[in-house]
Structure formats: C-alpha cells, structure tokens
Structure 1
Amino acid sequence: MTAMPDSNRPRHGAPDSEKVNGASLFAGAALMLSGPLSILMGAAGIAQDTLLAVSSHYAYRFDLTTWGVIHLVIGVGLVVAGLAVLLDKSWGRGAGVAAAGISLITQFMFVPYYPAWAIPMMALDLMIVFALTRLQIGAGDSH
C-alpha cells in the first residue's frame, strides 16, 4: 500500500488552513485598488482640479471640494474594509459590501463630473459587491 502524499491527504476535522480564498482575495485586492483611487479622486476634487467638469443642471450638484471630501472619506472606508477582508476579519465582508455599495452609489452620482472615471469605478465596485456577497452565501456551504 502506498502512502498518500501530504498534499492529497484529506483533512478531517481540521479548520480550513487557507483563510483567504479566491473570491475574498479578489474582493480584498479590488477594495485595496478602489480605495486609493477614490482617495486620489478626492484629492483632485479638493484641489479643484480642472479635470472635473462642473454641470450646472444636475440634481446632485455639489461643490468640487464637497465631492473631494466625499471621495476621500469613502476611499479611506474602502481601504479599511479591504484590509479587513484580506486579514479575514469577521466584520470585513459586511464592511466591504457596505463601503463598495456606498462607493457605487456615489460614483453614479458623480458621472456628470467625470464619466470616464466614474463608470469604470462603478463596474469595479459592482464586482466587489458581487464577490463579497457570493462569498457570504457560499461560506456556510463548505461542509
């Protein structure tokens, strides 16, 4: 009888040694990408960069400094949530879904100011929400 190599041996009763699986790794990395990008957009808004267009007939019209502060705060929230997901904290997934969801809504409201930025960021935030909610649903089905 040949012995099974260690990598192929079934682990009975042992907790999952790989804490961060593919979906949470993607979500954490994407949060860590979305956060600093939002922080950079916030800095551009606070500096009143000419890159951003000011629309006069828009329902969600704020001063560029206000938009900058909003993006800065959301960016910090995304980074904190990304670190929590990557460190497998129990509150990380919920915080990540909340932060990415708020960022998604904010980016939607920001489309008239800079659509070339807001639309890809909305797509990234949507993928983060999808990855974290799929992870949440599948988390209890591992056994």
Structure 2
Amino acid sequence: MAHSAPAPAPGPARTVDQGEMNPWAAGGVMFAGVLLLVDGVLGVIKGITGIATDDVYAHVRNYTFKFDVATWGWIHLVLGVILGCVGWGILKGAVWARATGVVLASISLIVNFIWLPYQPVWAIVSIAIDAFVIWALCAATAKAVI
C-alpha cells in the first residue's frame, strides 16, 4: 500500500499582493523621498549661490554646455523646488509622486552631469543621490516574490 502526503490546504498565494509592498521596498521609497527633499534643498542652495554671486563657482572656458552661472542658478533653483515638492509627495504616499520622482531624478542627474565642471563635488553628490532615488523608486514597483 502506497502512502502519499496529504494535499496542502488552499492558502494565500506566495507572491506579494499588488497593494502590499515589501518592507525593504517601502523603506527604500521613504528614503528616496527624504533624499529627494535633500536634493531639492541642495539644488535651491546651488541655485541661490549661482544667482547671487558669479565668483563662487569655477569659470569654465571652452565648454560645450557653457551657460552664464546665473542661468545655471535659475535652472538649479527651479529644479530644486520641484524636487522638494515631489519628495514631500513621496513621503505623503501620493501615487503620482513615484513616477514623477523617477522622471525628475533622471532630469536632475543629467543636469548635474552637465554642471560637473562648475562644481564637481556638489554635482557628484547630487548624481549619487539621484541614482539611488531612481533605483529605489523603480525597485519598489517591481513584483517581489517571497
């Protein structure tokens, strides 16, 4: 006589529900929101500094993307305010804020890459923040398997 194991009782699926988020992903999203706020504040500081004084940043000669430092200041100021608002939206749990955060962090990454010759350290810090934000917001939307 052959013995077989009893069939498992029907239970919950082994994948995470679409409305439920992995705790690590949720933490990453919250951290991304905080980092967007920080990146926004850094952008505002870079912007105000560029608008107020031209002698703070390095003067770059023969650069393809050469703008007046005040123009760069306005670009960073506006982008910084928008990044801060989106970061706040992520912390509040707004659905629109995740996709907007990925798009704006991508734009901020590109702007800071172009800004690199003017202020390398600030630009690299902002690029690193933007790269993590993009990763965290994209990873949180992927389906997780338990």
Aligned-residue Cα RMSD (Å) equals 2.3
Q: Find the counterpart in structure 1 of residue 53 from structure 2.
A: 48
CA shift, 1:49, in A, is 4.2
1:67 equivalent in alignment to 2:72: yes
Give structure 2 stretches of 5+ with no counterpart: 1-16
Distance 1:89 1:56 in 2: 43
User: How many residues get paired?
Assistant: 128
Write the deviation string for residues 37-70 of structure 1: whole angstroms up to 9, x where unpaired: 1000000000124220121110010001100000
Report the secondary structure of 1:21's partner residue. Answer: helix
TM normalised by structure 1 equals: 0.81
1:93–1:136: 8 Å Cα contact kept in structure 2? Answer: no
SS in 2 for 1:61: coil
User: Contact 2:115/2:123 (CA < 8 Å) preserved in 1?
Assistant: yes
**Structure 1 outlier segments of 4+, above 3 Å:** none
1:24-44 per-residue CA deviation (whole Å, 9 max, x = no partner) reads 111001001110110000000
The aligned residue for residue 115 of structure 2 is: 110
Q: Percent identity?
A: 38
Q: Determine the structure 2 residue equivalent to 1:9.
A: none
In terms of Rg, which structure is larger? 2
List gaps (5 residues or longer) in structure 1: 1-12
2:113 paired with 1:135: no
> Structure 2 residue aligned with 1:26, among 27, 31, 52?
31
**Amino acid of the structure 1 residue aligned with 2:106:** G
Q: TM-score, normalised by structure 2?
A: 0.80
2-structure distance, mates of 1:91, 1:78: 13
Letter in 1 for 2:81: V
